[in-house]
Amino acid sequence: MRSLRLSSQRETRYGGGWRRRRSVLLLSALLFILSESSPSHAFEFRGFGDVTFTKNDAAGSQNSHGSFTLGQFDLYLTQAITDRIDVLAELSIETESEQSSQTGIDLERLQISYQAKDWLVIRAGRFHNLLGYWNLTFHHGRQLQTTIDRPSMLFFEDKGGFLPIHLVGLWLGGYVPAGPLLINYGIMAGNGPKITGLDPILLNGGSLDPNNAVDNSGNKAVSFNLTFHPLAVHNLGFSVCGNFSQIEGFDTAGLQVANINQQILCGELHYVTEAVELLAEYYLLLDTDKLTGLGHFVDQSGYVQLAYTFADKYIPYVRYERTAVDEGDPYMAMLEIIDTSRTILGFRYNLSSASSLKAEVRFVNPGVQGKPGNAHVFAVQWAFWF
């Protein structure tokens, strides 16, 4: 992730050796903390990992020869440091990019929270944004999610995503009973994202940066989520959510070339029992480039996923995703997001509650480099937690 990536001038000067030593030190410190953690709780899990094989039948695609990929090795810690104060940390070790074999350590989440009341929990740190169901539920642990990958509109910022998945700032939330409903609300405010790395001529090829360290503008991003749980149907929930931010775009020379006013409105419905998993999310993006005055643009994206579990082990699943981009939207152009649909058919086999094998075929339209017609992607994953 483009997170609190631990890069420095010293790293450049001394190369990979320093980075590897520092990684080992950080890992050792984390494992020490884990080994010293609190009394026995009903659930013990400390991390996630996965290995994935992907083959794309479209000539010229990145995985046309078939590739094994190390997924994120995700380490997770939660601890109560006082009666009311909890700390959560999530560290991920992953390859830096699809073109590089170098690994790096990212601080994916770090939050400190104060439990004031059931209806008021105050958190500060870096979180997953309050967008829908998936982004708040599955995070970086692929063992928890039924499928191999996230829906494409929820890809992480540095993996081609166009939604602000992470946010650094404050988060207020809690549970409020309301007659036949239990409402889980959340409000976040923090650094809005920016777009960096844009080609100075074409104004594309950029990626979202959540602004972990410094906010490049005074306009804070604000997001909200209201999730309703009917007490009569325990496994059902539905939400309305939104995110409002000002996103500046910078080219590779650091020159500002865009200033997008963005409003995201979203909704989701989930019904999750021991057998059935039904997820549906919808996102509406309203973009206005204030720098160029090119007008307003409306983009839509969403997915529906259905899975059914037989005998606790065998889980066939299907997912349909669609992203419709308003032609000329500079925000989507800068991130190179185009109209896309993906249909995924898959099967998951739970080796145990801690490990699973998944296999799926994806019908992706368009295929490589925007050419019409389906590309077929085959993927197999072995995921685990421990």
Partner 1 sequence: MGVLVLIRLRHLGSVAVAGLLCLILAGAAAAADSLVIVTNQRYPVSKLTREEVREIYLGRRIIEQFLRIRPIDQSEPAIRTAFLQTVLDMSREAYINHWNRLIFQQGGLPPLLKESPEEVVKELLETDGSVGYLWAHDAEEQSGLKVLLTLPVR
**Could you tell me if 110 and 76 are in contact, meaning their C-beta atoms sit under 8 angstroms apart?**
no
Token pair recorded at residue 100: 């590089």
- The minimum distance between CB 114 and partner 1, in angstroms, equals 11
What are residue 20's DSSP bridge partners?
none
**Could you tell me if 167 and 157 are in contact, meaning their C-beta atoms sit under 8 angstroms apart?**
no
Among 13, 17, 36, 38, binds partner 1 (CB under 8 A): 38
CA angle at 280 for the pair 361 and 63, rounded to the nearest 5°? 25
Site for partner 1 in 96-135 (CB under 8 A): 111, 113, 115-118, 121, 123
Among 4, 6, 34, 87, binds partner 1 (CB under 8 A): 87
- Of 43 and 65, nearer to partner 1 (C-beta) is 43
- Of 145 and 246, nearer to partner 1 (C-beta) is 145
Helix (H, G, I), strand (E, B) or coil at 258: strand
Helix (H, G, I), strand (E, B) or coil at 31: helix
Site for partner 1 in 351-370 (CB under 8 A): 353
Q: Is position 300 an interface residue for partner 1 (rule: CB under 8 A)?
A: no
**Could you tell me if 170 and 189 are in contact, meaning their C-beta atoms sit under 8 angstroms apart?**
yes
Give the list of residues 6+ apart from residue 195 with CB closer than 8 angstroms, or none. 206, 207, 208, 209, 247, 248, 249, 250, 258, 331, 334, 335
What is the phi-psi region of residue 2: left when phi exceeds 0, alpha when psi lies from -120 to 50, beta otherwise?
Answer: beta
Q: Is position 42 an interface residue for partner 1 (rule: CB under 8 A)?
A: yes
- Of 35 and 101, nearer to partner 1 (C-beta) is 35
- Of 269 and 286, nearer to partner 1 (C-beta) is 269
- The minimum distance between CB 187 and partner 1, in angstroms, equals 14
Token pair recorded at residue 84: 């009311």
Site for partner 1 in 240-279 (CB under 8 A): 274
Q: Is position 78 an interface residue for partner 1 (rule: CB under 8 A)?
A: yes
Candidate ranges 73-81, 315-323, 358-366, 376-384; the one touching partner 1 (CB under 8 A): 73-81
- The minimum distance between CB 240 and partner 1, in angstroms, equals 18
Among 41, 65, 293, 327, binds partner 1 (CB under 8 A): 41
Measured distance CA(281)–CA(133) in Å, rounded: 8
- HSE, CB side, 13 Å, CA atoms: give it for residue 78: 8
Residue 177, preceding peptide bond in cis (omega within 30° of 0)? no
Size (the chain), residues: 386
Site for partner 1 in 191-220 (CB under 8 A): none
Among 141, 192, 193, 330, binds partner 1 (CB under 8 A): 141
Binding site for partner 1 (CB under 8 A): 38-43, 45, 76, 78-80, 83-84, 86-88, 111, 113, 115-118, 121, 123, 136-139, 141, 144, 173, 175, 182, 184, 231, 234, 274, 312, 353, 385
